[in-house]
Amino acid sequence: MNYIFYFLIVISIVIGAINGKLQEVVNAVMSGAELSVKIAFSLIGIMAFWLGIMRIAEKSGLIKIIAQIIKPVTKRLFNELPPDSPVIGDITMNISASALGLSNAATPFGIKAMERLQQYNKDKSTASNSMCLFLAMNTAGLQLVPTTVLAILVGIGYKNPTEIIAPTILVTLIAFTSAIIMAKFAQKFCPCKPVKEANDGKIA
């Protein structure tokens, strides 16, 4: 990425010099730098507000409630795992926290889920189907509250930042669903037996 940005900057300066608009390029760089600093400072307040709201949701048990609601779906998606496995709870908590914009809270659950999925993994040198599915779901990133984007829009003075919430939910829902479908489709080419069958009832 550093090389790409360096290339873009050099090209902009060269083209600006050729067209006699080098001063405009310099002005754009300076104004852009000034705007970035203003946005960075404005993000402090709005991010503190939204993260505080999300932390209240976590402490009040809202995330656990949502996790319990989606847990039956998670069990069906990760049907290679024992239905009573504690990793199902970690996965649901990770997805719930991520959807509400609590990335700091979601990360420990995600790491713990991956560690436990590795325990169930027969081949330790490669990722299991469940690990790939979980990674695909995290990469797609379902968002119900796009905290960071809202903060940036408020920072640049956008008049109605909340209008992005509905499109964000729709787009991330489509991406999230597509990731699950593609991961499940790919599993057809690399099927795995349920853990209990593959390991005689023992975790690998």
Do 144 and 100 meet the contact criterion of CB atoms below 8 Å apart? yes
Higher pLDDT, 198 or 194: 194
Taking CA atoms, 65 is separated from 36, 69, 70, 89, 179, in Å, by 38, 6, 9, 12, 24
Over range 158-167, report the average pLDDT.
83
Residue 73 counted as domain residue: yes
Residue 12 counted as domain residue: no
Distance separating alpha carbons of residues 5 and 22, to the nearest angstrom: 18
The helix or strand, by DSSP H or E, that contains position 37, with its residue range, turns out to be: helix 22-59
The whole-chain average pLDDT of the chain stands at 79
Distance separating alpha carbons of residues 114 and 111, to the nearest angstrom: 5
Residue 192 counted as domain residue: yes
Residues 6 or more apart from 103 whose CB is under 8 A from it?
97
Residue 184 counted as domain residue: yes
Task: Quote the pLDDT of residue 181.
Answer: 92
Nearest Cα to Cα of residue 164 among 156, 175, 153: 153
Nearest Cα to Cα of residue 101 among 152, 41, 139, 58: 58
Residue 5 counted as domain residue: no
Two tokens, residue 151: 């903060």
Residue 116 counted as domain residue: yes
* Band of pLDDT at residue 175, cut at 50, 70 and 90: very high
Residue 193 counted as domain residue: yes
Q: Domain count of the chain? A: 1
* Band of pLDDT at residue 201, cut at 50, 70 and 90: very low
What is the tens place of the pLDDT at every residue in 24-83? Answer: 878 887 887 777 777 777 667 766 776 677 677 767 877 678 777 877 888 888 888 887
What is the tens place of the pLDDT at every residue in 1-12? Answer: 678 878 888 888
Over range 73-97, report the average pLDDT.
82
Task: Quote the pLDDT of residue 50.
Answer: 64
Distance separating alpha carbons of residues 88 and 77, to the nearest angstrom: 10
- pTM recorded for the entire structure: 0.63
Residue 85 counted as domain residue: yes
Two tokens, residue 32: 């852009």
Task: Quote the pLDDT of residue 170.
Answer: 92
Domain that holds residue 114: 47-198
